Structure 1
Amino acid sequence: MAHLILASSSQYRKMLLANIGIQVDTHAPDIDETPLENESPTALSLRLAEQKARKVADELESVTNSPIIIGSDQVALVQTVSGPQFLGKPDTSENAVKQLMSCQGKQVSFFTALCLHQPSTNTTITQVDETRVIFRHNSETAIRAYVEKEQPLDCAGSFKSEGLGVLLFDKIESRDPNSLIGLPIMLLNELLDAHFDVDLLAMAAQKNS
């Protein structure tokens, strides 16, 4: 059975895998996530996802069983009057309110990158999944109430689409709703099958049998 390691401390990514019956080891990489000058959101998300996977590989080089390390990163981008603006984790309630107010009535693009890295075979596969979210016009009072209720302070874009945050939107355009939460599960399944001969469905069924 494949040995999967999630290069992340994100409870949301681990939860998404657990929801399909996949329990993974996790290891949080410490990397600099500062964008490079003129770096596109796609390039940034791909670079950071791969850096996370490779950093964990370096730190766990003694691990046996030829693990496949899953790196993922999400970059959110909104167009403002002063140009495109990255949306990171707000960390505070006031920052979350400001982020959500800046998104009202606008389309926000989320670029969720995936990197699969297997050190033993020197195989690295990266792809990105884009999700487009069109926000409703909500009052500042409603937004403040939402932030107080759900506390999305560790979420890029300041919402939890798997919860009450979905009511902030008019529309979501995506191949996979899991991508918006933090990990493109369909793409993960596709790349594991195509490049590592790993079937997540069979793996989950076997673990739960």
Structure 2
Amino acid sequence: MASLILASSSQYRKMLLANIGIYVDTHSPDIDETPFANESPTELSFRLAQQKAHKVAADIGKLDNVEAGAIIIGSDQVALVQTDTGPQLLGKPGTSENAVKQLMACQGKQVAFYTALCLHQPSTNKTITQVDETRVFFRHNSEAAIRAYVEKEQPLDCAGSFKSEGLGVLLFDKIESRDPNSLIGLPIMLLNELLGAHFNVDLLAMAAQ
């Protein structure tokens, strides 16, 4: 069975795979994630997931210890909220103040998260990419409550400034999603589907070994 390589430095994506018993090597892709002019969130996440997978493929192609037939997993997430001044992309805040600003902009609003998944097999040059969409409906919270949340959970490396697997879930009224893992960073159900349909890889069998 083909080995899997995660094209990401995200501890959350690696954790999601570990949670189902899949332990992978990770390689951090160094790419420019600046959106193109007039690029939609779906197009942006799709492009970046593919770029990450192909960049890591090029990098590991220089190594001698990579298993033939290995499949590289690239993923990218883009969040979009409609504000009074127009659509706003939500990236990783980096600072507490930016996190507070992002969350305040989301209060009482619906936020769309587009999580792209790219599977690339260098030995066959096969690439499969799809985008999974999740919609988050935010409650109305006071700025004091938002600041307390950010101070408590420190979601500074999370797109949208929250951790839905933790205290952040209390910021929402509801979530509409095929797979709650997508919001954390990796659509596991879609991964299982695409691996089986296009690469004859069974994640359940792999995890149960």
Shift of 1:65: 2.1
C-alpha separation in 2, matches of 1:65 and 1:3: 8
Shift of 1:64: 3.2
Does the 8 A contact of 2:111 with 2:136 survive in 1?
yes
Does the 8 A contact of 2:79 with 2:111 survive in 1?
yes
C-alpha separation in 1, matches of 2:73 and 2:111: 25
C-alpha separation in 1, matches of 2:67 and 2:154: 39
Q: How many residues align?
A: 206
1:44 matched residue in structure 2: 44
Shift of 1:152: 0.1
Deviations 1:177-206 (A, max 9, x none): 000000000000000000000000000001
Does the 8 A contact of 2:109 with 2:137 survive in 1?
yes
Shift of 1:2: 1.8
User: 195, 202, 207: which is aligned to 1:204?
Assistant: 207
Does the 8 A contact of 2:3 with 2:67 survive in 1?
no
1:73 matched residue in structure 2: 76
Secondary structure of the residue aligned to 2:208 is: helix
Matches within 5 A, 1:155-166: 155-166=158-169
2:135 matched residue in structure 1: 132
1:182 matched residue in structure 2: 185
Secondary structure of the residue aligned to 1:156 is: coil
User: 161, 170, 176: which is aligned to 2:173?
Assistant: 170
Percent identity, please: 85
Shift of 1:66: 1.6
1:30 matched residue in structure 2: 30
Secondary structure of the residue aligned to 1:202 is: helix
Deviations 1:73-116 (A, max 9, x none): 00000001111110000000000000000000000000000000
User: 98, 103, 107: which is aligned to 2:101?
Assistant: 98
Does the 8 A contact of 2:71 with 2:121 survive in 1?
yes
* 5+ residue gaps, structure 1: none
Q: Which amino acid aligns with 1:109?
A: A
C-alpha separation in 1, matches of 2:161 and 2:183: 12
Does the 8 A contact of 2:5 with 2:25 survive in 1?
yes
